[in-house]
Amino acid sequence: MEFLEASIFQKGYIDGITILNLDGEILFSAKFNKKLSNLDEAQQLIGQNFLDVYPNLTPQSSTLYRAMQFGRPVYEEKQYLKKRGKDGILITSISFPIKNGDRIVGAIDLSMQESEEEEDGLPNSRIELSRDSFQRDRTQKLSTSASAAFRTEDIIAVNQKMCQAKDYISVVASCDLPVMLCGETGTGKDVFAQAIHNASARRDGPFIAQNCAAIPDTLLESILFGTAKGAFTGAVESKGLLELADHGTLFLDELNSMPIYLQSKLLRVLQDGTFRSIGSTEVKRSDLKIIAALNQDPIREIACGHLRQDIYYRLSIMSILIPPLRERKEDIQSFVETFIKRHNKTFQKQIRYVSHELIQRLQAYDWPGNVRELEHIIVYGMSVVSGQADTLTFADVEKKFTQLSKTFSSTEKILSMPLNQAVDGYERDLIHRALFQSKGNVSEAAKVLCIPRQTLQRKIKQHFRGRPAVRRRRRRKRKHGVTDRKMQTDKEKLLITDKISIISSFCGKICSLAYHAVIPEVMPLWGI
């Protein structure tokens, strides 16, 4: 299966071109399809940050960013682009890094919109392409070097648990059974998936990765299974990732974000490798190895209804648990040295050493963002360090490190509890502050919180259970015509009566004692 025949050159046109610099700034943008945007609108994007324009993308999910990061083209990958306040679109992208000598200075993306209904048989002013636009061997298949760059030897492992996980790669790669990777975000699940592919007999086949959380549920099914022409309005014949990954590997990241109904359809693929495209009655077969990744505890995800129990048991036959960076801090120094070597060419630096203070401070941190966060700190330090320096010090990364440390300390408590408890606690705290600021006036507190008074009353009842009961008693008394002033007067009268009663009782007891103790002694003196 060829890259270009399966994607853009199969249709012979492109819908848009985007060029970024190394900082993610849009240097050039041209949209030739009016459903993407017009030329005038595209020109307005120049100078803006690409991730700000499309907030649903991340450096990991964007093909442009990955092309810049790894220095290799990213072929035949679907992306969902969504601007703030606008409808999203599904595109197929080919992204290439732009180099000045050995230095990467940016990236260029050629995109085509998927499943678009053409008007009057015309491609809406798209730019027509010929196969000669890119010289590529027609017999060359989807190469792993483009998407699966990491191998087993590239995995850094000094920690014992990490070494065991690394050694297990050869076991899971030797068979065609599906594999499950479990680990927090940023631990390197994608690296493990690529290493498994390159260690298997499928190394010459395609390696296709898809983050299940980066695509809306309504589009994910068509991306995975493909579509038949006429399946829905504007639908064209399109191959899904299951078909494109034939004789290769399909990596599904964050599988727990996939809708339950899609997980049931995927289970059929895991069992016998067969599936049907949307709108088609034809049963297709794909010979592929599936690697799934979870960033949450699978047992907890099953209990929450985010993961099917049967698909978990099917995938967990071969599983690898990747420990977080805080549990393998002895690997930090090796990571730092590797990142420095990788980015020396990017920033044209000559850094060869790392200060002892820097390593100590990095090892004392808990790394909620794991290896990805560590790399971002090192990249920041290399971007600001002097061009003549040969040593990376803590002073070079202090600004970014301090910022991350403060963020982590403020969110550590929240991240240690379930989401619903964290939200309830935050809401309760806000209500308490608003009531304190308004001196207990519910109406004023509601204005401060910008919510209706009735809503605030309901939430007060929810979070502060003692207060509503008092309010209900007062409302019932008011209903019978008793005013607050009258209630207060009656209360004071009752209090005075109680005091008089207590004093009278006390005086009575004194008189009784006197009668029984004093009177018998004086009666003889009186001649009685």
The CATH class of the 325-415 domain is mainly alpha
Of the ranges 82-86, 169-173, 213-217, 365-369, which one carries the lowest mean pLDDT score? 82-86
Average pLDDT over residues 442-470: 75
Q: How far apart are CA 149 and CA 139, in angstroms?
A: 21
Q: How far apart are CA 334 and CA 380, in angstroms?
A: 18
Give the strands of the sheet with 179-182, arranged side by side: 207-211, 249-253, 289-294, 179-182, 318-321
Instruction: Tell whether the model's pLDDT for residue 4 goes beyond 80.
Output: no
Place 454 in a pLDDT band, splitting at 50, 70 and 90.
confident
422 touches 414 (CB < 8 A):
yes
> If we measure between CA atoms, which residue out of 417, 344, 403 comes closest to residue 373?
403
For 462, the token pair is 């929810």
Instruction: Give the pLDDT score at 228.
Output: 85
Average pLDDT over residues 305-324: 91
The CATH class of the 1-139 domain is alpha beta
Instruction: Give the pLDDT score at 489.
Output: 59
For 147, the token pair is 């998407």
Instruction: Give the pLDDT score at 408.
Output: 53
Total residues belonging to the chain: 528
54 touches 16 (CB < 8 A):
no
pLDDT digits (tens, 9 = 90+) for 76-89: 677 778 777 677 77
User: pTM for the whole thing?
Assistant: 0.57
Instruction: Tell whether the model's pLDDT for residue 90 goes beyond 60.
Output: yes
- Residue 122's DSSP bridge partners are 119
Q: How far apart are CA 349 and CA 13, in angstroms?
A: 40
For 17, the token pair is 């071109």
Instruction: Give the pLDDT score at 145.
Output: 36
- Residue 28's DSSP bridge partners are 19
pLDDT digits (tens, 9 = 90+) for 207-245: 999 988 878 777 888 889 988 887 666 667 788 899 999
78 touches 63 (CB < 8 A):
no
> If we measure between CA atoms, which residue out of 279, 329, 243 comes closest to residue 5?
243
**Do 325-415 and 419-479 come out as alike in CATH topology?**
no
Average pLDDT of the chain, as a whole number: 76
Instruction: Tell whether the model's pLDDT for residue 390 goes beyond 50.
Output: yes
Identify the helix (H) or strand (E) that includes residue 378.
helix 370-384
Place 197 in a pLDDT band, splitting at 50, 70 and 90.
very high
Place 160 in a pLDDT band, splitting at 50, 70 and 90.
very high
pLDDT digits (tens, 9 = 90+) for 260-311: 989 989 998 998 889 988 888 888 999 999 999 999 889 988 988 889 999 9
The CATH class of the 419-479 domain is mainly alpha
Instruction: Give the pLDDT score at 510.
Output: 55
pLDDT digits (tens, 9 = 90+) for 60-70: 788 888 888 87
Q: How far apart are CA 507 and CA 515, in angstroms?
A: 12
Strands of 56-133 (E only): list them: 74-81, 89-100, 103-113, 127-128
pLDDT digits (tens, 9 = 90+) for 331-343: 999 999 999 998 8
Instruction: Tell whether the model's pLDDT for residue 439 goes beyond 80.
Output: no
> If we measure between CA atoms, which residue out of 10, 57, 50 comes closest to residue 27?
50
Domain map (residue ranges) of the chain: 1-139, 141-323, 325-415, 419-479, 496-526
CATH of domain 141-323: 3.40.50.300
> If we measure between CA atoms, which residue out of 407, 356, 399, 361 comes closest to residue 381?
399
Instruction: Give the pLDDT score at 182.
Output: 94
